[in-house]
Structure 1
Amino acid sequence: MHGRRRQAQKEATEAEKVQARQQVERYCALNQQVMELKAARVFSTEALNATKRLLEQNTELHTVWNYRRTIFMRLDAWQNADERQQMLEQELHFMLEIIQKNIKSYWMWNHRVWTLSSLPRPEWERELGLVAKLLALDARNYHGWNYRRFIVSQLKEVAADSHEVDEKEFAFTTEQINRDCANHAAWHNRSKLLPSILAHRSESDQEQVLQTENYLILNAIYTDPEDQNAWLYYDWLLDIQKSDDDRCRLLRNKMAAIHELLELDEDSKRPLIELANAYIELQRLAPDTISDGEKRECLDTLCKLKSIDPFRIGRYSDMSRKLGQQWKLAA
């Protein structure tokens, strides 16, 4: 999981090696048994139990997950809504046990989506609360966030007001970002929600939302200037502005924040890169708004980056040359 240091492995004793070999032998025998049942097209509760024992040991066997789904649909209980509900509720509980062993298993998450979709009476709200607890274990887990988006999409289909669901989810991303501003998955989810949030607001409310976004980004940047997540979200926020004037205004806000950061650490690489990029974008959008002093500052910033970030010296030199030609200044 994110943020967890890998533990050094100690040398196994002879007894532990023997135990490990026996465990491998039992696993191989069980795997062979399940594959033989599948090849023989056995769709019974005994086969279902065998797949369960195997998946408890290895969640990455997508063929076994597929076989398990087929068994479910071939059982007589599948045709009865109440029995299917009970059976799949137990399946959700089973996956909750093994999810803690491998929270990043594609096949397990796919199977959980299928299980929820096959329930006669799915409880989407309960599932949303559950995935919030799972994200508490690993807040940046891609699979958990992807699954959460699926749950939210289902909630929106049955909700009286789908926009209210988006608002609650937007608030959830705010909570996650305030807890960890380096949570890229939360920033990404926020970018998926913001267009819907803005679409349901008046023009004055839209301005307030964007100001709040600007504050959230700046808070993340001040917390960790070298982390890329807030900077990337800032760039995305620029892209969705309605006009070049709005983009220029946001760029000026960004540059003011960068100048404050550089007062604390004048050699901070990421803010310097972002400052140079902001000037280049401003040159593209509104070249007449850049003063001679700002042009000089941009070229000086690129010159400083050559010494701070020598691996990209060619890139900075090329940028300096092109801007110097445009501005008729010595790079």
Structure 2
Amino acid sequence: MHGRRRQTTQEPTVDEREQNKQRVEKYCALNGLVMNNRAQKVFSKDALETTKRLLDLNTELHTVWNYRREIFTHLDDWQDEEKRQEMLETELAFLLEIIMKNIKSYWMWNHRIWALQSLPRPGWERELGLVAKLLSVDARNFHGWDYRRFVVKQLKKNVDVDGQLEVDAREFAFTTEQINKDCANHAAWHNRSKLFPAVLNMAKNEPERQGLFKKEFDMILNAIYTDPDDQNAWLYYDWLLGIQENGEEKRKLLRDKVATIRELLELEEDSKWPMIELVGALIALEQQNPGSVTSDEKKECLDILSRLKEVDTYHIGRYKDMSKTMSQQWGGIC
């Protein structure tokens, strides 16, 4: 802030500098030992322990993760399934410690996938519970969501069609839970879009199918009213309309969307995304059913684009181009 003296970092003491120096020297020596072992192709349990100590200090050493995997596969115990199971269970416990230190480490997640795929008896259900706990700490972490999708894929490999549908339904319920906690969770919306087609396929008839669409739109409306300018719910809204194959239902849903946005704009008149979505919905309606959008509604679109030029000046060129194109297509209505 202006007028306030900037706080400076306190200089480390002599003891602190000495401790830092010793830590750096220890790390460099350990790194040198691991790299020398790798160059000499040392594949022993002692070498494995050395890589563990180094990775505990720095999870981003992808070369060391690769070397660690090499060591495992060269050990005599690797050929015995029971011993391999025990070794890799211990490895998963070590990785859990690493995750808590750095959940965003690509190399750690890759190594965990390798360990699970190498297990004679992997516990995929356990992994699903683990990643649920991790997402409860950091609900938007895309590493966790990517890993969850991987685990679900593995679970579905080991069950019949009914079992796969059950897994999809459970995952769909999980995304509902996450979105209800945080409607701005982009990863949860994205995952939901991957699962909803499978949920639709479970519908026994058209009324049940349309009922599922209605539930989705109800959830979207709740998210939109919670945060009108959060883009995630709007993107899912548009995606959902895009997969609606029933033309009559799609036109009805677009009309419902127009009515909802108008109500919303009465409360948030300068809210950017509702304005953009209202224009998009009316354009889509006209494309679906030419002549269904009135002259007043076309003028409403152009008025909104004029307001958007003031509200969202960063994209003013886009709104000018849209106004010009729509005026030409709609017979010069201004």
Task: Give the structure-2-normalised TM-score.
Answer: 0.93
Partner of 1:246: 249
CA deviation profile, 1:1-31 (whole Å, cap 9, x unmatched): xxxxxxx984342232332222122111111
Change (3 A) 1:186 1:22: same
* 1: CA distance, partners of 2:279 / 2:17: 58
| 1:239 to 1:12, Cα distance in 2 relative to 1, 3 A | farther
State how far apart, in whole Å, the 2-side matches of 1:12 and 1:134 are: 36
Identity between Structure 1 and Structure 2 (%): 60
Aligned equivalents of 1:244 and 1:57: distance in 2? 59
Counterpart of 1:294 in 2: which secondary structure? Answer: helix
What is aligned with 2:273?
Answer: 270
For 1:166, the equivalent position in structure 2 comes to 168
Q: CA deviation at 1:199?
A: 1.4
Residues 23 and 9 from structure 1, CA distance in 2 versus in 1: closer, same or farther, beyond 3 angstroms?
A: farther
Alignment of 1:83-232 (within 5 A): 83-160=83-160, 161-202=163-204, 203-232=206-235
Cα distance in 1, alignment partners of residues 73 and 133 from structure 2: 30
The CA deviation at 1:103 is 0.3
Say what the alpha-carbon RMSD is for the aligned residues.
1.5
Give 1:324 shift: 1.4
Aligned length: 324
Residue matched to 2:305: 302
Residue equivalent to 1:293: 296
Moved over 4 A (4+): none
**How far 1:330 moved relative to its partner?**
4.0
Instruction: Give the equivalent residue in structure 1 for 2:10.
Output: 11
Residue type matched to 2:195 in 1? L
> Aligned to 1:288, what secondary structure does the other structure show?
coil
Partner of 2:41: 41
2:31 is the alignment partner of 1:64: no
> Is the 2:152–2:167 Cα contact (8 Å) retained in structure 1?
yes
**1:243 Cα shift?**
4.0
How far apart in 2 are the matches of 1:330 and 1:269?
A: 23
Deviations 1:70-123 (A, max 9, x none): 111111111111111111000000000010111011110011011111111111
Unaligned ranges ≥5, structure 2: 1-6
Structure 1 residue runs of 5 or longer lacking an equivalent are 1-7
Question: What's 1:5 paired with?
Answer: none
